[in-house]
Amino acid sequence: MSAGQIPGYIAGTWTIDPAHSEIGFVVRHLMVSKVRGQFTKFEGSITTAEDPLQSTGTATIDLGSINTNNEQRDGHLRSADFFDADSHPTMTFKSTGLRQSGDKFIATGDLTIRDITKPIELEVEVNGFGPDPYGGTRAGLTATGQINRSDFGVTWNAAIEGGGVVVSEKVQLVLEVEASLDKG
């Protein structure tokens, strides 16, 4: 795929704007519903290459910033039962490759949680490139994927009466990213 096939494509280095981005997740609870949450503190960058398939990205997420709109649950998620945020304060992602799949891209990368690093894939949709009202340039993308939390040492669970568990192993990742082109 060439850069000309992506409308408005701009090669450069971009800083993720946390005020206009969201790093979220969805997990099944009690086998019957889904709980959504997000991390409110994170940073990262994206480098778009002349050849879009050579583009890269990194992110560092503050695990203590988890927000599921329930302080008791958030405290439990920060605890050693889940993230152990006191001992492992961040989760990181570093891309390792990018390939095209139809009109979307598949980003491969290394995700590290609790000092355990595993490869993951994210389906990426490029939402666009364009000017912002402050004389800068913005890029937007949506990325989704799925991980098994136990692969990263996040194994706490409890059985529920009648069968099943409190928290599913599968976690959906949902990222809405807006980034600003670095000047210079």
* pLDDT tens digits along 107-146: 999 999 999 999 999 999 999 999 999 899 999 999 999 9
Total-model pTM: 0.89
Q: What is the CATH number of domain 3-181?
A: 2.40.128.110
State the amino acid at position 85 in one-letter form: A
The span from the CA of 20 to the CA of 11, in Å, is: 21
pLDDT of 19 over the 90 cut: yes
The span from the CA of 56 to the CA of 96, in Å, is: 7
Digit-coded pLDDT (tens) for 38-74 = 999 999 999 999 999 999 999 999 999 999 999 998 9
Please spell the DSSP secondary structure of 113-130, one letter per residue. Answer: ETTEEEEEEEEEEEEEEE
Question: Which of 122, 118, 119 is CA-nearest to residue 153?
Answer: 118
- Place 154 in a pLDDT band, splitting at 50, 70 and 90: confident
Mean pLDDT of 14-38: 85
Q: How far is CA 52 from the centre of its chain?
A: 20
